[in-house]
Chains A and B, each alone.
Chain A
């Protein structure tokens, strides 16, 4: 039987607000990471403020529509990134956000492994019908990784993002429950 919280390269963890703030404050200062992960204006926030934000989130406790996770590598137990699932409870669909803050772990299959765990959680634990995500056109590495996990390109918002003087598209991808189940070859939790 598969482990719900353990993949081939990473495992899912719940980090304390202190640990999250300590890493997040570094990741936030990496412009390329910010450009790939977000479309907001880059911001510099103090470690204390970030910690307070995570503490507030922790105080709110369990919410069935929100499932945030942290991620550590299996070999060094290094905290490298995060993902979160946001569920529309009425329609049983989820949106995913994912990121690897530690650059040394880009392009090595860690993100793909994380996304596989994320989809496993979404389809076997949250029992959603589909998982959606959006990404920037200028992030082909992410696109390839999502395709490997079974996501299909479903659409695009043309000239959506203005970055470095150029407007680029936002791409929308999705994977359906049946498609994911088929990929598992009956090997389920």
Chain B
């Protein structure tokens, strides 16, 4: 039986707000990172402010939000994080966001590996029916990564946001439980 939190290159681990807030101050200084991840104007926040915000977000045990950090298997290096939010338990639909902080860790398959771990978590642990995500048109690396783990293109919001003086679309992607199960070739946790 596979370990549910371990992949080929990375593992998912618990979020420590103190460690993460320090990492966020480093990553947030890279405007390309923030442009790929979010569409709001990114203010530079202190580690203390970020930590306080995270602690408040994580307060209590919410049965609908699942946050993880992503670490390399070989050196235990903190690479980034992800959050899976169950939109509706009745519909069993969820939304995911994922990020890798340092440029030197981009394009190496870490995100793809982390995404395949969290899909396994969503379908075998939480027994969800769907996982959805949104991605900006100008992030082909992410789109390719999501396609690799089985996400399908489901729709787009045309000219949704500004980037470098142009307007770009927001893509919606999703993967169904049956599609994911089929990709596992009977090799389940």
Contact = CB atoms under 8 A, between A and B. Distances in A.
Interface in A102-129: 125-127
A64 B127 contact: no
A127 B90 contact: yes
Contacts of A91: 127
B90 A90 contact: no
Interface residues of B, number: 10
A55 B39 CA distance: 40
A63 B61 CA distance: 11
A92 B63 contact: no
Nearest to B128: A90
B90 A125 contact: yes
Given A90-B126, A90-B127, A91-B127, A65 B90 contact: no
B125 interface: yes
B89 A87 contact: yes
Contacts of B125: 90
Q: Which are the 8 A-B pairs with shortest beta-carbon distances?
A: A127-B90, A89-B89, A64-B89, A126-B90, A90-B127, A89-B63, A90-B126, A65-B63
Interface of B: 63-64, 86, 89-92, 125-127
Given A92-B89, A92-B127, A125-B90, 8 more contacts: A64-B89, A65-B89, A87-B89, A89-B89, A90-B125, A90-B126, A126-B90, A127-B92
Interface of A: 63-65, 87, 89-92, 125-127
